[in-house]
């Protein structure tokens, strides 16, 4: 092959390679063009190079020199295209960005301690055979009072002790039967869910209900106008006070991690007879957690259960109190001020 022809092929190759590299819009296309022109085995430059052998001996130095120049030019065109693609990638390049500096510290959100407590309580009670159920937070006074055997003239119905809704006529509800003259209110106890569950399901029952309740209590270290209760209800043939005490003791032992003595103090709730206050012995003192008792026969009658057939126990414990004792929290208000420094500890 004559020198002129050899050189012309090389020059043509530079132009085509440059066009192909410039046209590549992505890494894949660029790599394909690189293989086409610069490929070590079957590349087009290699093919022209092989023809160097056919160039007359006298012209070989000039041909070889030109070959090296063209090779360098094609490689330079490839480098330029590579740099172009890197600069136009999605990432916006920031001159001041220093990849060697430590990045910002991300802190993960946490489950609120009350929610953590609720999950744990469900877990423990679940192992004791109690299924979680739910009820509405806006209740009618029939479920909150009447069906729970709270008499029409009972002081617990007083509007100063309850959050009735603006349109509700609490006094009209005093003799309310279900759905009639029944005032809407924010429930003051989770015992309402006992009623709703028994209305829907026949005995035997073993349920818990965890949720918010509302009372116009002044906030202090141990009281808040909105708090949570865990209600428990077990109904079957032959359920006794001994079952109640056993369940509460097993629960406390699982929850607090030590053998926890339980104390019952005589008390009064309209919906249980007998009724007790439940105290746990913890860190050298007795702490009150809630109320409990044997379900009053009048409650069974209100929901259509036969009190001659079944007996049952019920209890209502303060969830905040349980949470506070486990974590050594002194003031219930800390749980509701949403201070991340406090909440991040749990």
The yes or no reply on residue 191 touching ligand FA5 (CB under 6 A) is yes
The yes or no reply on residue 316 touching ligand FA5 (CB under 6 A) is yes
Q: How many CB atoms lie within 10 A of CB 256?
A: 15
State which of residues 147, 173, 292, 310 lies at the interface with ligand FA5 (CB under 6 A).
Answer: 292
Q: How near is the Cβ of 276 to ligand FA5 at its closest, in Å?
A: 8
Q: Which is nearer to ligand FA5, 211 or 316 (CB)?
A: 316
From residue 227 to residue 246, the character string flagging contacts with ligand FA5 as x (rule: CB under 6 A) and all else as - is x-x-----------------
Torsions phi, psi for 207 (to 5 deg): -130, 160
Q: How near is the Cβ of 166 to ligand FA5 at its closest, in Å?
A: 22
- Of 74, 6, 69, the closest CA to residue 37 belongs to 74
Q: How near is the Cβ of 229 to ligand FA5 at its closest, in Å?
A: 5
Could you tell me which stretch among 3-11, 58-66, 96-104, 285-293 binds ligand FA5 (CB under 6 A)?
A: 285-293
Could you tell me which stretch among 127-135, 246-254, 257-265, 286-294 binds ligand FA5 (CB under 6 A)?
A: 286-294
The yes or no reply on residue 21 touching ligand FA5 (CB under 6 A) is no
The yes or no reply on residue 193 touching ligand FA5 (CB under 6 A) is no
> What number of chain residues touch ligand FA5 (CB under 6 A)?
24
Signed CA dihedral, 182, 296, 263, 244: sign only: negative
The yes or no reply on residue 289 touching ligand FA5 (CB under 6 A) is yes
How far are the Cα atoms of 2, 9, 52, 193, 257 from residue 57, in angstroms, in the given order?
10, 18, 10, 104, 96
State which of residues 125, 247, 314, 323 lies at the interface with ligand FA5 (CB under 6 A).
Answer: 314
The yes or no reply on residue 224 touching ligand FA5 (CB under 6 A) is yes
Q: Evaluate whether 287 touches 279 at the Cβ level (below 8 Å).
A: yes
Q: How near is the Cβ of 209 to ligand FA5 at its closest, in Å?
A: 10
Rounded CA separation 112/228 (Å): 13
Q: How near is the Cβ of 194 to ligand FA5 at its closest, in Å?
A: 7
Q: Which is nearer to ligand FA5, 59 or 279 (CB)?
A: 279
Q: Which is nearer to ligand FA5, 48 or 207 (CB)?
A: 207
The yes or no reply on residue 16 touching ligand FA5 (CB under 6 A) is no
Rounded CA separation 187/156 (Å): 12
Q: Evaluate whether 294 touches 205 at the Cβ level (below 8 Å).
A: no
Q: Which of residues 32-51 bind ligand FA5 (CB under 6 A)?
A: none
State which of residues 44, 315, 324, 329 lies at the interface with ligand FA5 (CB under 6 A).
Answer: 315
The yes or no reply on residue 217 touching ligand FA5 (CB under 6 A) is yes
The yes or no reply on residue 318 touching ligand FA5 (CB under 6 A) is yes
Rounded CA separation 339/346 (Å): 12
Q: How near is the Cβ of 156 to ligand FA5 at its closest, in Å?
A: 9
Residues at the interface with ligand FA5 (CB under 6 A): 189, 191, 215, 217, 223-224, 227, 229, 269, 272, 275, 288-293, 314-316, 318, 320-321, 332
């Amino acid at each position: 092959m004559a020198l002129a022809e050899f050189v012309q092929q090389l020059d043509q190759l530079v132009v085509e390679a440059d066009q192909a590299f410039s046209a590549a819009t992505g890494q894949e296309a660029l790599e394909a063009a690189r293989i086409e022109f610069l490929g070590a085995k079957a590349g087009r430059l290699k093919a022209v190079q092989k023809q160097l052998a056919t160039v007359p001996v006298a012209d070989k130095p000039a041909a070889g020199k030109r070959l090296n120049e063209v090779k360098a030019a094609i490689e330079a065109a490839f480098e330029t295209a590579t740099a172009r693609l890197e600069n136009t990638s999605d990432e916006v390049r920031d001159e001041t960005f220093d990849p060697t500096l430590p990045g910002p510290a991300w802190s993960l959100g946490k489950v609120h301690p009350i929610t953590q407590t609720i999950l744990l309580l469900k877990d423990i009670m679940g192992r004791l055979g109690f299924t979680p159920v739910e009820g509405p937070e806006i209740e009618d006074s029939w479920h909150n009072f009447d069906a729970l055997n709270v008499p029409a003239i009972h002081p617990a119905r007083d509007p100063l002790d309850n959050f009735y809704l603006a349109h509700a006529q609490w006094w009209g509800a005093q003799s309310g039967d279900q759905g009639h003259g029944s005032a809407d209110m924010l429930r003051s106890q989770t015992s309402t869910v006992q009623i709703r569950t028994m209305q829907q399901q026949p005995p035997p029952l073993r349920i818990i209900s965890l949720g918010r309740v509302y009372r116009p209590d002044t906030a202090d270290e141990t009281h808040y106008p909105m708090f949570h209760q865990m209600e428990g209800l077990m109904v079957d043939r032959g359920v006794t006070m001994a079952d109640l005490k056993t369940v509460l003791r097993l629960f406390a032992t699982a929850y607090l991690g030590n053998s926890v003595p339980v104390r019952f103090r005589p008390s009064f709730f309209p919906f249980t007879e007998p009724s007790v206050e439940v105290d746990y012995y913890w860190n050298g003192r007795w702490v009150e957690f809630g109320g409990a008792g044997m379900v009053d026969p009048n409650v069974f009658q209100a929901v259509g259960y036969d009190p001659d057939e079944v007996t049952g126990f019920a209890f209502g414990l303060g969830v905040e109190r349980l949470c506070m004792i486990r974590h050594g929290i002194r003031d219930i208000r800390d749980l509701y001020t949403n201070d991340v420094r406090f909440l991040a500890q749990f």
